[in-house]
Chains A and B, each alone.
Chain A
Amino acid sequence: MSKTDLGIYVHIPFCVKKCDYCDFPSGVASLDEQAYYIRVLKKEIRSFEPLGNLYRVKTLYFGGGTPSILDPVQLQRIVDQLKDQYEFAEDAEATIECNPGTLNEEKLSAYREMGFNRLSIGLQSANNEELAILGRIHRYQEFEDNYKLARKLGFDNINVDLMSALPGQTMDLWKNSLEKVAELEPEHISAYSLTIEEGTPFYQKYSTLDGQRMLPTEREDRGMYHFTKEFLEEKGYHRYEISNYAKEGKESRHNMTYWNGGSYVGFGLGAASYLNGKRFSNTKDKHEYWEDAKNAYQNYRLTDAQTEQATMEEFMFLGLRMMKGISPQEFEEKFHQDFGTIYGRAVEKLKMQGLLEEEGGRIRLTERGIDVSNQVLVEFLL
């Protein structure tokens, strides 16, 4: 029996300091706690041993928090555990997220040796004042130094994260960040516009009326977004997802798995999985996680597969995040149901409103559709 493709996500919830806009399960932890977490994480991975017979790993992604905060030895233990249990495809993509303030030559070489072939560096802004506003621990120069170091050590697939619509940010400041990064020619750029999440220091500061005045207006925000697309296309990047740009063939295969409805398993605090038609997530409470980890596989087995309706909805609202859009034909092959009966009316209405367009048998968001995509995607909930 041939094995199914699998993506593995590993969550490392530690940071030197939590950023003021961040609402992910992450934070500062003592070295003891970090060591303990690694042990629990290994237990969780071990509980999923039976998967090894069914799946082959196509992508591996270490995210956080800050995976690069770990001592490479600890990282090695997890990677070894995974390699013990799973067959990795020859061309497997293995990404590690890094904070520019935590990198050095020793770590970068260790990553190469462990088999990481892709770096995702959280730069966020090329402007030091903006970095301070965000509560980042690093300066631009640290990023550039480490980026060049990574190149020297042979990393040929690097992503850089940037954030637009920051407090006080002007179009010129944003252009400057983009230009500086584009000059370095990374293979991939993620350009997110800032979302103010509840429960963060940013929410307290910027959700008030006075606070909102410090943020770019919706018009400015969209201006930055549209500029990003044009600017990066000129530089040889194509936008393949709402916030993601890549050189040809350098799309993040791991992230594409999420949007294409592929199988993935997530290990660690708050990590999400989609396996065998079942969606489940680990707890975001670390104490509960200590308890759950041993029986994680059991918990997964007890989860019900999601309904076909939910899978159809996801096909649409995840698929439409990608610029290539969705194909009604693929929908019908997957679900054996008539696309028009289920979504025909919604699609027609949204096309009339200029939010969707159809070309070459695929349906995708228009530029305006991207700007208000939540209002488009909600129409595909049945």
Chain B
Amino acid sequence: MASVDQSKIRNFCIIAHIDHGKSTLADRIIEMTGLLTAREMQAQVLDNMDLERERGITIKSQAVRTVYTAKDGSEYIFNLIDTPGHVDFNYEVSRSLAACDGAILVVDAAQGIEAQTLANVYLALDHNLDVFPVVNKIDLPSANPQRVKDEIEDVIGLEAQDAPCISAKTGLNVEDVLEAIVHKIPAPVGDPEAPLQALIFDSVYDSYKGVIVFCRIKEGTVRKGMEILMMASGATCEVVEVGYFGAGQFIPCEELSAGMVGYLTASIKNVKDTRVGDTVTEAERPCSEPLPGYKKVQPMVYCGLYPADGAKYPDLRDALEKLQLNDAALQYEPETSAALGFGFRCGFLGLLHLEIIQERLEREYNLDLVTTAPGVVYKVHKTDGTVIDLTNPTNLPDPTEIEYMEEPMVSAEIMVTTEFIGAIMDLCQERRGVYLGMEYMEETRALLKYELPLNEIIYDFFDALKSRSRGYASFDYEMKGYVRSELVKLDILVNKEEVDALSFIVFAGSAYERGRKMCEKLKEEIPRHLFEIPIQAAVGGKVIARETVKAVRKDVLAKCYGGDISRKRKLLEKQKEGKKRMRQIGNVEIPQKAFMSVLKLDED
């Protein structure tokens, strides 16, 4: 390992629209470069979180190193860095790209270019990567590789006529991809003797090894025992181990030199000392300046996360700290709610990001959570001239102190087949969208451009889009800034008591509709009590909608037969267990999932 010929290293990633076969191609490359036999290969080696495999999406960047013997007889080291495909995880893509010298663009032979294909290509080009296209899924009956090749040339401007036409699923022509990697992706540059300059592109927490830092060595060499400095955080520590990525495992080696991708572990005391995007250098012989790193990502969606069991608050804090380690976009700060106790206000990139974090907290950290309705960040301009960023509806100042409010807008691009244009335009209209224009990509497909308020798309816009286009529409958006808007805080009163965790900010024109639906939903969620429970929605103290949960008249086990007490006991215990999963608000017990119900208002 001591001297690796830089010209034989290829650092690359695969970029694609979601579901175009990125992970399958990665699997095939790993399998065909001999790192794993097909038998050892679990489907989708790179997606190693359970969650990723179940959902069939890549969330976290993963890296793997394989060795390929090319047709010219030389051995090449491939460092394949996987990237997520969903719009919420653009920042992860950006991190992965910074560790690469080139990218393979995978396009589905049947579907052609999609919104995310474009977004990812532009990201890659921004990072000065050499990109070459691959047409995948040519085994599908509806495949039309030539049309897709033309499209790639017309729309993106990449040379595509000699692009490998493959089926990653069956392995057909994947060898052409391997050769193309050798010939079309440049070898890394960098001087192994120069002062160390390495970019942290990811890190994970391992209970045995501690923090594992994933890095790309740009200049110099890092080896065991070296005293290193994290340039942004200023922390120094001693390298305990360096190595590279096997399939699903870490393989230690002597050193990592310029051009290589690998990991290091060090005597890192505080997980916060290793920041993704930071530059690692040698403490004694630092490089002159840090690498550019990443643009800090701003969360766009906020919600409250509370432990279902109040005693688990410290556990939740520890878990969030560890998750943040390799998810720089996750932000959190403590907050308290009258209804839910101690918890955290957390910021996410989008709703999928929120869901993923929530599920990871529940699965990997075994936490039972209560989540409040997600909201975006509003700007509140107060009469005294100050402006506050409102992430929690409860903090909305008194209306008399508010001059006006602004809400975030996005510009959205929706790719859709022409038959669904009408339906999608209706949807955007309902969500207060402003039509900006439409471009025909080809005869049957168009790109619709809209300006939409972010708070109209964070809940279920994506689902609505899919259902109204029978799955054919795809969607991408970027932040566009704030505009002034008529916004109000909608409060929910349960048995005449305001429940802070159920309040949310809403466009004034939608308040009545939202309030009504919220009351209906809560009526379904809140179990009947021994007394009648009014559920009211109010804006500024004025009730705009009401439902009633009727009182229980009958809850009796008529028969208690044959001395089988265990059955009766089970019934009572189940009833008691149910009560435990409730939050007591005044006299009323509200099930935890009711706090999420605002999310599902448009389901039916």
Question: Given A374-B572, A374-B575, A378-B572: A314 and B560 within 8 A (CB)?
Answer: no
Distance between Cα atoms of A7 and B562 in the complex (Å): 11
Chain B residues closer than 8 Å to A195, beta-carbon distance: 557-559
Question: Given A317-B568, A378-B575, A381-B572: A371 and B553 within 8 A (CB)?
Answer: yes
Please determine whether A274 and B552 come into contact, CB atoms closer than 8 angstroms. Answer: no
Spot the interface stretch: A109-117, A129-137, A218-226.
A218-226
B573 contacts partner chain A, Cβ-Cβ < 8 Å: yes
CB distance from B554 to the nearest CB of A (A): 4
Distance between Cα atoms of A321 and B556 in the complex (Å): 10
Majority SS of interface residues in chain A? mixed
Contact of A372 among B555, B571, B572 (CB under 8 A): B555
Distance between Cα atoms of A171 and B530 in the complex (Å): 24
Distance between Cα atoms of A377 and B562 in the complex (Å): 19
Please determine whether B563 and A218 come into contact, CB atoms closer than 8 angstroms. Answer: no
Chain A residues closer than 8 Å to B600, beta-carbon distance: none
Please determine whether A381 and B576 come into contact, CB atoms closer than 8 angstroms. Answer: yes
Please determine whether A242 and B564 come into contact, CB atoms closer than 8 angstroms. Answer: no
Chain A 337-382 residues near chain B, CB threshold 8 A: 353, 355, 370-375, 377-378, 381
Question: Given A317-B568, A381-B573, A381-B576: A9 and B562 within 8 A (CB)?
Answer: yes
Chain A 154-172 residues near chain B, CB threshold 8 A: none
Spot the interface stretch: A30-38, A199-207, A264-272.
A264-272
Q: List the count of A-B residue pairs having beta carbons below 8 Å apart.
A: 97
A161 (CB) vs chain B CBs: closest residue: B559
Please determine whether A353 and B565 come into contact, CB atoms closer than 8 angstroms. Answer: no
Q: Which of B554, B559, B561 has the most CB of A within 10 A?
A: B554
Chain B residues closer than 8 Å to A374, beta-carbon distance: 555-557, 571-572, 575
Please determine whether A377 and B564 come into contact, CB atoms closer than 8 angstroms. Answer: no
Contact-residue size bin, chain B (C-beta under 8 Å from the other chain): 20 to 34
Please determine whether A272 and B564 come into contact, CB atoms closer than 8 angstroms. Answer: yes
Please determine whether B558 and A281 come into contact, CB atoms closer than 8 angstroms. Answer: no
Contact code string A53-97 (vs B, CB < 8 Å = 1, else 0): 000000000010000000000000000000000000000000000
Chain A residues closer than 8 Å to B565, beta-carbon distance: 258, 272, 274, 279, 314, 318
A243 contacts partner chain B, Cβ-Cβ < 8 Å: yes
Majority SS of interface residues in chain B? loop
Question: Given A317-B568, A374-B572, A378-B576: A272 and B554 within 8 A (CB)?
Answer: no
Chain B residues closer than 8 Å to A373, beta-carbon distance: 555-557
A192 contacts partner chain B, Cβ-Cβ < 8 Å: yes
Chain A residues closer than 8 Å to B561, beta-carbon distance: 24, 63
CB distance from A184 to the nearest CB of B (A): 22
A280 (CB) vs chain B CBs: closest residue: B566
Please determine whether A266 and B563 come into contact, CB atoms closer than 8 angstroms. Answer: yes
Chain B residues closer than 8 Å to A355, beta-carbon distance: 530
Contact-residue size bin, chain A (C-beta under 8 Å from the other chain): 35 or more
B578 (CB) vs chain A CBs: closest residue: A378
Please determine whether B560 and A258 come into contact, CB atoms closer than 8 angstroms. Answer: yes
Listed in ascending order, the chain B residues whose CB lies under 8 Å from chain A are 530, 552-566, 568-569, 571-573, 575-576, 579
28 A-B pairs in the complex with CB atoms less than 8 angstroms apart: A11-B562, A24-B562, A195-B558, A219-B553, A257-B563, A258-B563, A258-B565, A259-B560, A272-B563, A272-B565, A274-B565, A317-B569, A318-B560, A318-B565, A321-B560, A353-B530, A355-B530, A371-B554, A371-B556, A372-B530, A373-B555, A374-B555, A374-B557, A375-B530, A375-B552, A375-B575, A377-B572, A381-B573
Q: Which 9 A-B pairs have the closest CB atoms?
A: A218-B553, A192-B558, A272-B564, A218-B554, A258-B563, A374-B555, A372-B555, A378-B575, A373-B556
Listed in ascending order, the chain A residues whose CB lies under 8 Å from chain B are 7, 9, 11, 24, 63, 192-195, 218-219, 221-222, 242-243, 257-259, 264, 266, 270-274, 279, 281, 310, 313-314, 317-318, 321, 353, 355, 370-375, 377-378, 381
